Amino acid sequence: MRDWILKVENLTKIYGDGCPNCLKSETNKCPFCRATIAVNSVSLALYSGEILGIMGESGSGKSTLVRSLYFDISPTLGEAYLNGEERNIFNFNSQEKRKLRNFNMGMVYQSPYRGLNFEITAGGNVAEKLLMANWRSYSNIRRRLIDLFEKTELPLNRMDDFPATLSGGMQQRIQIAKALANNPEILFLDEPTSGLDLSVQARLLDLIKKIQQELKISIILVSHDLGVIRLLADRVLVMREGRIIESGLTDQILEDPQHPYTQLLVNSML
């Protein structure tokens, strides 16, 4: 069996002061102190080389969960471990966290405005990630950029264009190129294809599948789209009101969901 690569225990993110009753709350709004419990006591394991899907409706805490793991958001409680590292990564100092973000992890956001700097060129955006990982030689960086553009099927002649002049699909590819720049072990994809038209979405999904198979990278994929989950994920976690309410093999969750909410979701599929 495959080894785990990332383990998360009781991850919780509370917006507001919080109180001892927050974690017992049924919904993501604490009835006692009115704090928002965006993620409530989530535990999971990501195994090497797998795509783990996280599904659930807007506001269920999916994005907060992956953004916490990428250190965009600091969790209120909880622990996360990488295999081979004994310390909780949330207790790392900021320099260590930056190193993990640059070398071990990659992130693709739903909105390119969050993932890209629109003030610099497409190539510059990817190069930035290389520079942060101490790449110094201009010619090496240029070569790596060409390699990444080819891998993500981006036209080389758009490298010096600004993100605002690129199509939505291309902007997502730039984000993927940037995320893959330093050969990370873990890739977080937060609704990577939402809002794109179908043919662009299909090509991006292809690309993600291809990258996963070629690079044997482990992926956490957040999506509210069951079609995307069915296509890509080996296993799925279902989130609602900040909690994981059900988990299983993708085909099992889609064909034999146990929780009333998952049954509702699956039965709402077109």
- Quote the distance between the C-alpha of residue 55 and its chain's center: 12
65, 11 contact by CB (below 8 A)? yes
Measured from the CB atom, is 197 or 251 closer to another protein? 251
Q: Regarding beta strands 77-82 and 4-15, do their DSSP bridges make them parallel or antiparallel, or are they unpaired?
A: antiparallel
Indicate whether 206 belongs to the interface with another protein (CB under 8 A).
yes
Measured from the CB atom, is 47 or 162 closer to another protein? 47
Task: State how far the alpha carbon of 137 is from the alpha carbons of 45, 134, 144, 221, 239, in Å.
Answer: 38, 9, 11, 33, 44
Indicate whether 214 belongs to the interface with another protein (CB under 8 A).
no
Question: What does DSSP assign to residue 29?
Answer: B
Tell me which stretch binds another protein (CB under 8 A): 12-20, 112-120, 166-174, 252-260: 252-260
Task: State how far the alpha carbon of 69 is from the alpha carbons of 11, 82, 107, 131, 195, in Å.
Answer: 9, 11, 10, 22, 24
Token pair, residue 259, equals 């929780």
Tell me which stretch binds another protein (CB under 8 A): 53-61, 76-84, 87-95, 227-235: 227-235
Positions 42 through 101 that interact with another protein (CB under 8 A)? 47, 50
Q: By CB under 8 A, how many residues form the interface with another protein?
A: 26
Measured from the CB atom, is 203 or 224 closer to another protein? 203
Angle between helices 168-180 and 198-215 (to 10 degrees): 10
Q: Which of 96, 119, 197, 251 lies at the binding interface for another protein (CB under 8 A)? A: 251
Compute the distance between CA of residue 186 and CA of residue 177 in angstroms, rounded to an integer: 14
Indicate whether 235 belongs to the interface with another protein (CB under 8 A).
yes
Measured from the CB atom, is 125 or 201 closer to another protein? 201
Interacting residues with another protein (CB under 8 A): 1-2, 47, 50, 202-203, 206, 209, 213, 230-231, 234-235, 247-249, 251-252, 255-256, 258-260, 263-264, 267
